Chain A
Amino acid sequence: MTQTTMEPLVVEREQTKPGFVGQSIPRKEDRRLTQGQGVFFDDLKRQGMGFIHFVRSPYAHAKIRSIDVSKALALEGVYGTLTGDEVAIQTDPFFELSTPPGSEIKDYALAVGKVRFQGEPVAAVAAATRELARDAAELVEVDYEPLETVVEPDAALAEGAPILHDDAGSNVVWSGVFDWGDWEAAKAEADHVLTIDYLHFDRFSSTPLEMSGCLVEYERATGQWTLYCNLQMPGVGAIWMAPAMRVGIDKLRFVTHDIGGGFGNKICLHPYFVACCLLARKLNRPVQWTEWRTDQHMANSHGNERVFREVEVAVKADGTLLGFSCKAIDDCGAFPRYEPLGAIIWSQVTPGLYRWRNIRVDFTQVCTNKSPVGPNRGYSRLQHLWLTERIIDLVAHELGFDPVEIRKRNYVKSDEMPYETPNGCVYDSGDYARCLDQALELVGYDKIEERRRDAEARGKLLGVGIGSTLDSGTNNFGQSTLINPELQFSGNNEVATVKLDIFGEIVVTLGTVPQGQGHETTASQVVADILGVTPEDVHVRPGHDSFWNSHAGFSGTYASQFAVTGLGAVKGATENLAWEIKRVAAGVFGAAPEDIELEGGQARLAANPEAAIPFMGIGAIVNANNAILPLDVRDVTLNCRYVYVPPFQLPDKERKFGNLTLTYATQIHVCVLEVDRETGAYELVDWAVVDDCGTRIHPQIVEGQVHGAWAHGVGAATSETFAYDEDGNLLTANFYDYHVPHALDLPPVKSGWIESPSPFTPFGSKGMGEGGGGAIHAVCAAIQDALRPAGKPVVYDSHNPYHRVWELMTRPEESRKLISVESR
């Protein structure tokens, strides 16, 4: 075991009898969702409700000279409008996480004085129907004075570049140098130094099929807003919104039910929601806003775009990687919002899966006239993991190493776990080499050269690529202090409440905000095992309601953590409830709680199972017949709330060092594709993925998450991009041009798994929803491999549509200019 300085506590696990945990039981959510009875926010209606349509900027950068809403207000059926001027009076800017200059940026619910990206909302209209609201929005007259735009991150840093935020005085949001180990010494020790001038991680998003939105009710008597919505992280949403709206946090009630996919894209909805709240109050009527697809593409959160420059890699003659150094320029679009957290979150996976110890990253985040970014499945880690995977494949490609062998040589070994990374993160468990072997076997890697020859005979170039990646889960929010030491965030928490009701119903309330991950099902498995009932006996309330009081500051569903934090909370609450039930039964029988066992929906004496009280009796006694209980049991409520808090410590701000996440799930992908020599078009012909997320609570759900993350990666690698022209116009604002893979585009995927239980978590499970972008890495590597006979071009972009592949094939010398090797 590697010497660790900040190792989390190892959880002692009791041996439990086999139960529902680990089984793929039918999902509780499925009946309503397959019968069209799901409850999504847009399904809700209220008497007199107004429909909101936002007036959005056609310009990427412009001054707002004036806004005239009079014609819109004159239209019959229009209830009212809201403009940036009103917002600036009624609210304060949202707080910024950054240190200067980013901290000086002023971000409001609507554009105030200036627009900074195409699609930015400048006004809102509420009307009696959806159609009328749009009619009225067209009548709002906005006088713009267009300004010079800055679209590329490099351009944002250039001397004399147009400045987006005058208050900040710079397009830089945040910058800092991360320096671990001794890069200079590693470089001096190296036999080869590989230099890559430019790598680009492209802009895309997971584009959940359900658009963002909310229905807001305002109650004048109490000043209370209720938001029926699909915000996936209400805890943080409230922290943004309440101070900006100058109200206490309890004035904002967030309710979610079914959510049609989140993927992180539904975290930064607070500007829209504040506008809706203000309109609900102004008009004194319920209002409803549903984003449209075009709006989502133009103006909801995109994934972070990142440029890597001056990448230098130190390699020994035998292929041992010593370290790397680079400049990273991250483009967060027009407003930071969740940023600059992305400037630190990548460092959860600083070395990727590899043992190199000397890593230096000079990180700068900039604003450009593009849609703001937000967390997107694999947030900030997949960009960095793509870098590490590109590096290893380019090292192999340029120095003649086998991509499999060089990985195995440099992978962190299973017997080195828990492994402390150069920046103090602790990889809890895993066996990367075993996963890789299994994935290679699934695609028949030993026969690949035959397939390559067969493809050649058909005019195709076959390529194989590996994407080996990590999904770090359960954040230590203390990492935020590494970008801003003043921030008062650390650790993590999640809540669950489990109660036994008066008729014996077992009711579970989660603090999480599921969007398809099957929390109702997996929570019921955990509860059933502890209480000795079946999952059908357990009712898990769908969705989230902040008035349930079953949430904490970090509640939500994000960052691969439910299997640890959510189920950790469920386990804790259920164990407390079990103890209370035992105390009640013991009180009735005049026994000790330890003498009671829970089985078949009854509490009974272990020594005499005939002496049993059904849960219905326990619920009735405590709730309605408690005078029969001994005095020392009357504190029992059968309503147990538990806060799971992972065992984190504060990171070291000086060294930017510490354990930033609790678990690390592995995904190893192998992609086989064929490139058409004549066109550059390519087809994915085979795919394998092997997952290791520790103990699997519900294997089918785990596999479903693997499939989903894979599909997102394939889309990002092949046909999904948010491309802008030089004026800041989005070129892919709909599903025609932003092509999401459909069923014919994706090959059947072969999936495998191993289980390396985490020593740090309640069930040995790990968060695993994000997949680490493995499919993107694999496609890039496979294209690189396929094009080897076409002049060895360098795959330098994470997104490779046909035209880029064609350029690589026909002008390999262009991309080869980006790379050089100094061998000693």
Chain B
Amino acid sequence: MLLREVQYARPGSVEEALQALAAHEGARALAGGQTLLNVMKARAASPDVLVDLRDLEELRGVARTQDGGLRIGAMATYAQLMREPAVGEARPILAEVVAQIADVQVRNRGTIGGNVCSSDPTNHLPPLAVAQRWTMHAAGPAGERDVAADEFFLGVYFTAIGPGELLTAITIPPGGSDGFASVTLGVDGTCIANAAAQVRDGQARIALGCVGAVPVVVSSPDEVRAAAPDAPADVHASADYRRHLAEVCARRALEQAS
């Protein structure tokens, strides 16, 4: 609670938002705020300016792409993704996974863009993004660019979205079959370990959350232990136990996808 002083801007378009982000070095985009405001409450981060994206309707759309994939605006909320018919048709796993995030209130505000941009290793969506090879669309002072999910997550709370840039949308390519598994603190709680899997043309691609700063990719559950040497230890799991859970999650996610 009790944030440090901050200024507030409410742009009416993406261009205005980019201008506002460019105008202040310490500006941060405010999407659903379900992570950022928490971090600010702890005074662990203190942006000078919050650029509220609430009015950018163009960032909220969800639609099928011509090739059968999905294009999702960065400001689409979890609750929206749970009820969008397009998601249910093209990628039901996404609706299933976001339904496990936090709680009703958070799902009503939290956004897909906010989730991936916060790059919290315990989040549900980064491994899904990497397993399914999402493409992240960013707009910035230098124009628009696309970043592959593999290159998007750079570290804890650190992504390829640079200063002055904005994640505008995400494209999920048409998929094969998907899986997701997690071990959580309480039912549908914070992930202690998780894994997302996609099987396409007989090829498995598994991305593990919680075991590194960014999602770790393997093609078989047997590779998990070797692939996660730096799994963190905390009050919920030792490094070794976390690796073990990651392996179990990988196997379960793969099973669901197969």
Binding site for B on A (CB under 8 A): 130-131, 134-135, 138, 292, 294, 678-679, 681, 719, 721, 723, 731-732, 736-737, 739, 741-742, 744-745, 801-803, 806-807
Contacts and interface: CB of A to CB of B under 8 A. Distances in A.
B186 interface: yes
A719 B185 contact: yes
B234 interface: yes
Contacts of A681: 183
A802 B188 CA distance: 15
A134 B245 CA distance: 40
Given A681-B183, A731-B234, A732-B235, A131 B244 contact: no
B188 A803 contact: no
29 contacts: A130-B1, A131-B3, A135-B4, A292-B1, A294-B42, A679-B183, A681-B183, A719-B186, A721-B235, A723-B235, A731-B234, A731-B235, A732-B235, A736-B190, A737-B185, A737-B234, A737-B235, A739-B185, A739-B189, A741-B186, A742-B103, A742-B186, A742-B187, A744-B188, A802-B237, A803-B236, A803-B238, A803-B241, A806-B244
Contacts of B235: 721, 723, 731-732, 737
A802 B192 contact: yes
A803 B239 CA distance: 11
Nearest to A743: B187
Nearest to A53: B2
A801 B188 CA distance: 16
Given A803-B237, A803-B241, A744 B183 contact: no
Contacts of B166: none
Given A681-B183, A739-B185, 5 more contacts: A721-B235, A737-B185, A739-B186, A742-B103, A802-B236
B170 interface: no
Contacts of B192: 802
A105 B1 CA distance: 35
A458 to B, nearest CB: 14
Interface of B: 1-5, 42-43, 103, 183, 185-190, 192, 234-238, 241, 244-245, 248
Contacts of A723: 235
Nearest to A129: B2
B189 A131 contact: no
A134 B187 contact: no
Nearest to A133: B2
Contacts of B234: 731, 737
Contacts of B188: 744
B2 A130 contact: yes
Nearest to A740: B186
Contacts of A679: 183, 244-245, 248
A807 B187 CA distance: 21
Which of A678, A721, A741 gathers the greatest number of chain B CB atoms within 10 Å? A678
B228 to A, nearest CB: 16
B229 to A, nearest CB: 19
A292 to B, nearest CB: 6
A46 to B, nearest CB: 20
A745 B236 contact: no
B2 A131 contact: yes
A548 B103 CA distance: 45
Q: Is the interface of A mostly helix, strand, loop or mixed?
A: loop
A801 B186 contact: no
A679 B246 CA distance: 10
A679 B244 CA distance: 8
A544 B172 CA distance: 60
B187 A744 contact: yes
Contacts, number: 54
B179 to A, nearest CB: 16
A134 B241 CA distance: 39
Nearest to B251: A678
A742 B237 CA distance: 21
B153 to A, nearest CB: 21
Contacts of A731: 234-235
Nearest to B238: A803
A17 B135 CA distance: 77
Contacts of B43: 134, 138
A136 B190 CA distance: 34
A806 B186 contact: no
Nearest to B234: A731
Contacts of A807: 241
Q: Which 9 A-B pairs have the closest CB atoms?
A: A744-B187, A731-B235, A134-B2, A723-B235, A131-B2, A745-B186, A739-B185, A678-B248, A803-B241
Contacts of B2: 130-131, 134
A693 B186 CA distance: 32
A745 B183 contact: no
A183 B255 CA distance: 58
Contacts of A803: 236-238, 241
A685 to B, nearest CB: 13
Contacts of A678: 248
A803 B183 CA distance: 11
Nearest to B42: A294
A679 B236 CA distance: 13
A352 to B, nearest CB: 31
A292 B42 CA distance: 11
Contacts of A737: 185, 234-236
Contacts of B189: 739
Nearest to A722: B235
Contacts of A806: 241, 244
A683 to B, nearest CB: 8
Nearest to B122: A736
Which of A134, A679, A721, A806 gathers the greatest number of chain B CB atoms within 10 Å? A679
A466 B238 CA distance: 30
Contacts of B245: 679
Contacts of A801: 236
B238 A745 contact: no
A807 B4 CA distance: 43
A608 to B, nearest CB: 65
Nearest to B185: A739
B241 A745 contact: no
A681 B192 CA distance: 11
Contacts of A131: 2-3
Contacts of A721: 235
Nearest to A741: B186
A745 B5 CA distance: 38
A744 B236 contact: no
Contacts of A135: 4-5
A721 B1 CA distance: 23
A744 B187 CA distance: 6
Which of A721, A737, A741, A803 gathers the greatest number of chain B CB atoms within 10 Å? A803
Contacts of A134: 2, 43
A688 to B, nearest CB: 21
Which of B2, B238, B244, B248 gathers the greatest number of chain A CB atoms within 10 Å? B2
A681 B3 CA distance: 37
Contacts of A744: 186-188
Nearest to B193: A679
A802 to B, nearest CB: 7
Given A135-B4, A737-B236, A802 B183 contact: yes
B208 to A, nearest CB: 15
Contacts of B237: 802-803
A56 to B, nearest CB: 13
A134 B185 CA distance: 31
Nearest to A721: B235
Contacts of A802: 183, 192, 236-237
A205 B244 CA distance: 31
Nearest to A744: B187
A732 B241 CA distance: 19
A292 B187 CA distance: 26
Which of B1, B235, B236 gathers the greatest number of chain A CB atoms within 10 Å? B235
A736 B122 CA distance: 12
A339 B5 CA distance: 42
Contacts of A732: 235
B131 to A, nearest CB: 20
